[in-house]
Amino acid sequence: MADKVTGARTEVELTVEVAPEKLWEIITDVARIGEFSPECTGGAWLDSDSPGPRVGARFAGHNEYGDGFSSDVLCVVTESEPGRVFGWVVLDDAEDPALPGTTWRYELSGAAFGRTVVRQTFLHGPGDTGLREMVAGLSPVVAAAGVRERLGQIREHMTETITAMAERG
């Protein structure tokens, strides 16, 4: 990671008591994310002519971080297979989906007794983000510790979000 954050990645995998189709509906209803996530407190589809979870669709998100920092983000859906996969990129100010700030992805597979195995992944891209700004100018050792800490927070929040979706969705 020569630039300290590009390629930083984490994932969680959980088995939940919800069928894949139902969980996919919850995940892709971006207006409800604030009900479940400790960090992403709101979302809205932006393409009024064709809203919803289709490749190329755009949505806005609002994030609140524990340190008082908040951000509004623009996202573009990159993968959408009902009941199976939902993925998107978070754009930086350049708004180039090929060079995103981050990439997020849910992968769902059916399990016994109507359950779902959920894998959620996060990948930091080459675009600008708060994490990139946070570690800029830090020594490699301190920056690496900051990236590890943030990835741990993301992993915790992904677990909390998926669990809440399954329990309250």
User: For the segment 28-87, what is each residue's pLDDT rounded down to a tens digit?
Assistant: 999 999 999 999 999 999 988 888 899 999 999 999 987 788 999 999 999 999 999 999
At residue 163, does pLDDT exceed 80? yes
For residue 83, CA distances in Å to 79, 87, 140, 157 come to 12, 12, 41, 22
Q: What is the mean pLDDT of the chain?
A: 94
Q: To which H or E segment does residue 168 belong?
A: helix 140-168
Query: What is the number of other CB atoms lying within 10 angstroms of the CB of residue 101?
Result: 24
Instruction: Output the pLDDT for position 86.
Output: 98
Considering the domain boundaries, does residue 58 fall inside one? Answer: yes
In a domain, 41, yes or no: yes
Inside any domain, residue 149: yes
Average pLDDT over residues 102-118: 96
Is residue 158 assigned to a domain?
yes
Q: For residue 65, what pLDDT is reported?
A: 87
For residue 107, give the nearest of 9, 7, 13 by alpha carbon. Answer: 13
- Maximum distance among all Cα pairs of the chain, rounded to whole angstroms: 51
Q: Is residue 1 part of a domain?
A: no
Segments forming the whole domain that contains residue 30: 9-168
Inside any domain, residue 2 = no
State the first-to-last Cα distance of the chain, in angstroms, to the nearest integer: 38
CATH number at residue 70: 3.30.530.20
Strands 102-111 and 115-124: antiparallel
pLDDT per residue over 35-44, tens digit each?
999 999 999 9
As for how many domains the chain has, the answer is 1
Residue 126 is assigned to a structural domain of this protein: yes
Q: Is residue 125 domain-resident?
A: yes
Sign of CA pseudo-dihedral 92, 94, 95, 99: negative
- Give this prediction's pTM: 0.93
